[in-house]
Amino acid sequence: MKFFRQTFESLRFAWQALRSNLLRTTLSLLGVTVGIFAIIGVFTIVDSLERSIRQSLATIGTDVVYVQKWPWNFGGEFQWWKYFQWPETSYSDYKFLAERMEGAEAVVAMGFKGGLTAKNGNNSMDALIQGMTYDFNKVSDVEIEKGRYFTPQEIDAGRSVAIIGAEIAETLFPNDPEPIGKSFKIKGLNYSVIGVQKKKGKGLFDIAGNPDTKVLLPFLTFAKSFQNRINSSVSIVVKGKPEDDGLVELEAEIVGLLRTKRGLKPSQTTNFSINRPEAATKAVSSLFGVITLVGWVIGSFSILVGGFGIANIMFVSVKERTNLIGIQKSLGAKNYFILFQFLFEAIFLSLIGGMVGIGLVYLMSFIQLGTLEIVLSPKNIILGLSVSSIIGVLAGIVPAFGAARMDPVEAIRAK
């Protein structure tokens, strides 16, 4: 109990010392404040960017592979002249895979057409038209707020039905809270609304297009209206079964089947690409890793300067209170009691600086950076406070040891 009581007294002494020198305290913690703000600010922005990108990638599916003519390029030489000669992936490729794949939970054909206008009377809006086969909702997130998803019969028959985004529903049917069953036109063709997607808002990286401004159609309807022929270029998405580990076996099955369908000999190279969304995630993560490292370097210099500043102030503080240290030790104060006073003072200085820096980052989160939502996570708060505490210990340990080892008689005589 005596140890805890004296430790509490050390905390009180340290706090009183900081309060009695407010100007010096404020100037001392500025270096740590700037350093923590730089590090946690960079981490927070990087985390927010990465979260936004991952959310965008979720719209193109997880645990899936894309079979396409062109590979996704994330560095290195892009041999476009070779890929240019490859045939387009087609609806017949999709049918071949869908009928024969054993390791797939879903096989989907997709097509896109931009630059079109959806109209309803005098209301109109630019929209991205996307055609897909029935299992699309198994490979991508389709949240229906009103109405329903397509039925297999609507997909197979190529009926003129559509699922529209929230912004399209608000623009084409501004005074109608229930647009289900109503019709609108694209290029003079009528489509009946069977569903409205939940509003998601514009993302920073809408890789597959903003879902709020999309019109989803059965693939055959899309191909007939906007591609003129069914076997135009399509993207084929294949999702593996949940019980399977990894996508290696799935990719091998796709390669084997599609090479057979295209009549490729063993000596001939594969003339299609298998793309993974994970490749985009890895490329983004490596880029953010560099940005994070830069943040550490910039912030570390500021924190280092702040640490030296706190250490300097602590040496001055020990010098000013030498007589008090002598009196305390002559009255029976233990070495750890003296050590804790100055160590706690240094830690308090650094922690306050860190909290101010974190507070500035929190205020920064209210600034609107386009469509990017900046969120200060608990992980970054804990990191900032931890770094501050460590800097406080390192900056205060030497002056505190010096104070604790003073001879009481010489300390009392000191001027």
Res 350 pLDDT > 90: no
Q: Which one of 179, 213, 242 terminates a domain?
A: 242
pLDDT tens-place string over residues 197-213:
998 876 555 555 678 89
> HEC string of 96-145?
HHHHHCCCEEEEEEEEEEEEEEEEECCEEEEEEEEEECCCHHHHCCCCEE
Among candidate residues 354, 377, 375, the one with its CA nearest the CA of residue 365: 375
- The answer to whether residue 345 is domain-embedded is yes
- The answer to whether residue 346 is domain-embedded is yes
Claim to verify: residue 308 and residue 362 sit in the same structural domain: yes
Claim to verify: residue 222 and residue 309 sit in the same structural domain: no
120 neighbors 151 (Cβ within 8 angstroms): no
Indicate the pLDDT class of residue 166, thresholds 50, 70 and 90. Answer: very high
The average pLDDT across 256-260 equals 92
Enter the DSSP assignment of 405: T
Please state, in angstroms and rounded to a whole number, the distance separating the CA atoms of residues 403 and 316.
11
Enter the DSSP assignment of 93: H
- The answer to whether residue 227 is domain-embedded is yes
β-strand pairing of 104-120 with 235-240? antiparallel
Claim to verify: residue 15 and residue 113 sit in the same structural domain: no
Structural tokens at position 324: 């008090």
- The answer to whether residue 209 is domain-embedded is yes
Greater confidence (155 vs 9) lies with 155
Claim to verify: residue 114 and residue 175 sit in the same structural domain: yes
Claim to verify: residue 233 and residue 287 sit in the same structural domain: no
Please state, in angstroms and rounded to a whole number, the distance separating the CA atoms of residues 248 and 237.
15
Claim to verify: residue 112 and residue 209 sit in the same structural domain: yes
Q: Which one of 194, 215, 242 terminates a domain?
A: 242
- The answer to whether residue 62 is domain-embedded is no
pLDDT tens-place string over residues 137-150:
888 888 899 999 99
Res 2 pLDDT > 60: no
Greater confidence (150 vs 23) lies with 150
Share of the chain above pLDDT 90, in %: 25
146 neighbors 179 (Cβ within 8 angstroms): yes
Q: Which one of 194, 216, 242 terminates a domain?
A: 242
Claim to verify: residue 9 and residue 135 sit in the same structural domain: no
Indicate the pLDDT class of residue 123, thresholds 50, 70 and 90. Answer: very high
The average pLDDT across 52-62 equals 65
Please state, in angstroms and rounded to a whole number, the distance separating the CA atoms of residues 77 and 398.
55
Please state, in angstroms and rounded to a whole number, the distance separating the CA atoms of residues 363 and 272.
49
Residue numbers of the domain that contains 394 = 1-56+282-413
Res 160 pLDDT > 60: yes
- According to the model, what pLDDT value does residue 322 have? 81
216 neighbors 130 (Cβ within 8 angstroms): yes
Indicate the pLDDT class of residue 33, thresholds 50, 70 and 90. Answer: confident
Enter the DSSP assignment of 151: P
- The answer to whether residue 9 is domain-embedded is yes
Claim to verify: residue 39 and residue 138 sit in the same structural domain: no
Greater confidence (414 vs 152) lies with 152
Residues 6+ apart with CB under 8 A from 92: 231
Indicate the pLDDT class of residue 115, thresholds 50, 70 and 90. Answer: confident
Claim to verify: residue 231 and residue 112 sit in the same structural domain: yes
- The answer to whether residue 41 is domain-embedded is yes
Exposure string over 182-191, b if 16+ CB within 10 A, otherwise e: eebebeeeeb
Claim to verify: residue 237 and residue 292 sit in the same structural domain: no
Claim to verify: residue 162 and residue 229 sit in the same structural domain: yes
Residues 6+ apart with CB under 8 A from 205: 52, 53, 56
Claim to verify: residue 322 and residue 228 sit in the same structural domain: no
Res 124 pLDDT > 70: yes
The average confidence (pLDDT) of the chain is 82
Res 152 pLDDT > 90: yes
Res 244 pLDDT > 70: no
Residues 6+ apart with CB under 8 A from 95: none
Indicate the pLDDT class of residue 76, thresholds 50, 70 and 90. Answer: low
- According to the model, what pLDDT value does residue 169 have? 93
- The answer to whether residue 153 is domain-embedded is yes
DSSP code per residue over 12-64: HHHHHHHHHTHHHHHHHHHHHHHHHHHHHHHHHHHHHHHHHHHHHHHTT-SSE
Number of domains the chain is built from: 2
Exposure string over 74-88, b if 16+ CB within 10 A, otherwise e: eeeeeeeeebeebee
Lowest mean pLDDT among 45-59, 310-324, 359-373: 45-59
